[in-house]
Structure 1
Amino acid sequence: MVSKGFSDEYLIFHHEMIGFLDILSLIFLRRKLTSYKFVEASNATSLKFNNVRADWVSALILLLQKFLGFIKKPLKFTGIAVEYLLNLVSINGGIWSLIKNLATFSVKWPTPNSKEYRSFIGHIDGRTELHRSVPVSIYFQLADPEIGLNEDINHTDLFAMAAKLAYENEAYIREVVTESWKMNFVAYFDCWNESLQAKTTQAFMFTDKLLNTPLIIIAFRGTQPFDADDWSTDIDLSFLSLGKMGNVHAGFLHALGFKSSPTKRSTELEDQTQDLVRPLAYNTIRDSLKAQLLVHQNAKIIITGHSLGGALAVLFPALLEYNQETTLLNSMQAVFTFGQPRVGDETFAKYMESTAWLNYNRMVYRFDIVPRIPPDYSPISLFKHFGNCYYYDGWYKFEKMEDVPNPNYLDLTFWPTMYANAWGDLIKGTQMGKTHGEEYKEGFVSIMFRAFGLIIPGVASHSPRDYVNAARLGQTSYNKL
Structure 2
Amino acid sequence: MFVTNVERREERKGPPAGGRALDLLGKMERNEREYDETIAYALALASAWSYADPQALHDVMNSLGFENRCYAVTLSNDAVSARTSASLLQHVDGSAAILCFRGTEPASTGARLADTGVEPARLHAWKAVQGGVHSGREPMARYIACRLKRAMNGQSIVDEKGELVSVDAPACSDATGEPLEHRLKALYITGHGLGGALAALAAAMIFEDKEHEGIRDVVRGVYTYGQPRIGNEIFARRCQDTYGRLLFRHIHANDLVPMFPPPSIGTFEQFGHELRSSAAGWVFSEQPARRADTAPFGSTVDVLAWVKQRLPLVRRLQRPFSSDEHAPHRYVSVSQRSLRLRRSELGLSLGRLRG
- TM-score, normalization by structure 1: 0.53
- Consecutive unaligned residues of structure 2, counting only runs of 5 or more, are 155-181, 346-355
CA distance in 1, matches of 2:109, 2:283: 33
Q: Where does residue 203 of structure 1 map in the other structure? A: 86
Q: Where does residue 388 of structure 1 map in the other structure? A: 273
Matched, 1:469 2:350: no
CA distance in 1, matches of 2:255, 2:326: 5
- Contact conserved, 1:124 with 1:465, CA < 8 A, in 2? no
CA distance in 2, matches of 1:230, 1:421: 17
SS at match of 1:174: helix
- Contact conserved, 2:58 with 2:89, CA < 8 A, in 1? no
Q: Where does residue 313 of structure 1 map in the other structure? A: 199
Q: Where does residue 157 of structure 2 map in the other structure? A: none
Q: Where does residue 34 of structure 1 map in the other structure? A: none
Q: Between Structure 1 and Structure 2, whose CA radius of gyration is higher?
A: 1
Matched, 1:162 2:46: yes
Q: What fraction of aligned residue pairs are identical, expressed as a percent?
A: 21
- Contact conserved, 1:423 with 1:454, CA < 8 A, in 2? no
Q: Where does residue 334 of structure 1 map in the other structure? A: 221
The structure in which a higher percent of residues are strand is: 2
Q: Where does residue 126 of structure 2 map in the other structure? A: 245
- TM-score, normalization by structure 2: 0.70
Q: Where does residue 352 of structure 1 map in the other structure? A: 239
Q: Where does residue 252 of structure 2 map in the other structure? A: 365
Inter-CA distance 197–383: structure 2 relative to 1 (3 Å threshold):
closer
Inter-CA distance 157–322: structure 2 relative to 1 (3 Å threshold):
same
1:427 deviation in Å?
A: 10
Cα displacement string for residues 327-381 of structure 1 (whole angstroms, at most 9, x for unaligned residues): 112221111000001100111110001115850110001100110111235xx52
Which runs of structure 2 are paired with 1:47-62 in the superposition (5 Å)? none
CA distance in 2, matches of 1:339, 1:426: 23
The match for 1:322 among 202, 205, 208 is 208
- Contact conserved, 2:193 with 2:257, CA < 8 A, in 1? yes
CA distance in 2, matches of 1:144, 1:182: 10
Which runs of structure 2 are paired with 1:250-329 in the superposition (5 Å)? 250-257=131-138, 280-295=139-154, 296-324=182-210, 325-329=212-216
Inter-CA distance 121–233: structure 2 relative to 1 (3 Å threshold):
farther
The one-letter code matched in structure 2 to 1:307 is G
- Contact conserved, 2:250 with 2:275, CA < 8 A, in 1? yes
CA distance in 1, matches of 2:254, 2:297: 13
- Contact conserved, 1:189 with 1:204, CA < 8 A, in 2? yes
The one-letter code matched in structure 1 to 2:89 is F
- Consecutive unaligned residues of structure 1, counting only runs of 5 or more, are 1-119, 258-279, 429-449
CA distance in 1, matches of 2:320, 2:42: 30
CA distance in 1, matches of 2:289, 2:238: 24
Q: Where does residue 18 of structure 1 map in the other structure? A: none
Matched, 1:146 2:30: yes
SS at match of 1:328: helix
SS at match of 2:224: strand
Number of residues paired by the alignment?
298
- Contact conserved, 1:193 with 1:255, CA < 8 A, in 2? no
What is the alpha-carbon root mean square deviation over aligned residues? 4.2
The one-letter code matched in structure 2 to 1:391 is R
Inter-CA distance 230–300: structure 2 relative to 1 (3 Å threshold):
farther
